Structure 1
Amino acid sequence: MFDTIRRYTARLRTSERAQPQGTVERRAHNLFEAAAVYVAARVEDDQDRIEEAAAWVSPEALSFGVSELACRAVVALARERDESPGAVARDLLGLPAA
């Protein structure tokens, strides 16, 4: 059994190294990188980068990453302003204070 696993992993390693000439090795992007690029591109209104970042991960993963980025940004801004995250979130959205 272990011999089969060893042969399988050896094939994987050699197939990764032996890429045809002229092919560009694409590195995988994680959902947080995609979210950061996507949000920054939205701020800069860069449609090409928006589409590029959106293609890196699934729509669900991108949505999760953007949500996580928003949470972290609100927490960081709340600490900087010495306010509650709720107050900062309402202010960013232009909502009246609760």
Structure 2
Amino acid sequence: MFDKVRKAWHRLLSAPRTERQGERDRRAHNLFEAAAVYVAACAEDDQDRIDEASGWVSPEALSFGVNELACRALIALARERDESPGTVARSLLGLPTA
């Protein structure tokens, strides 16, 4: 009988730990990592990786990370081309130069 109580007690104590472990796994990825994987997956049209990266952080954090990645990429590309970020952005989107 003591063995049944011990096993039930162990299951009770183990359940919150499993839940907390899942929370730690979810927090293992930061928003910039999620944004990088998300954008790369979008470029490669990989829906499974898009869905996976979307689950790593909140939608707001992912949006911020994607925006930050876009800004950094645009600045790097503008420096590489020796053009203004505005000119490069318009070029990438196929818009006429202003």
TM range (shorter): 0.7 to 0.9
TM-score normalised per structure 2 = 0.74
Aligned to 2:10: none
TM-score normalised per structure 1 = 0.74
Instruction: Give the 3-state SS of the residue equivalent to 2:55 in structure 1.
Output: helix
Gap runs ≥5 in structure 1: 1-18
Instruction: Output the CA distance in 2 between the equivalents of 1:46 and 1:66.
Output: 16
Instruction: Output the CA distance in 2 between the equivalents of 1:74 and 1:94.
Output: 15
Bigger fraction of residues in helix: 2
Tell me if 1:59 matches 2:32. no
Aligned to 1:13: none
Identity value in percent? 78
The structure number with the bigger radius of gyration is: 2
Where has structure 1 moved over 3 Å in runs of 4 or more?
Answer: none
Gap runs ≥5 in structure 2: 1-16
User: Map of 1:13-28 to 2, 5 A cutoff?
Assistant: 26=25, 28=28
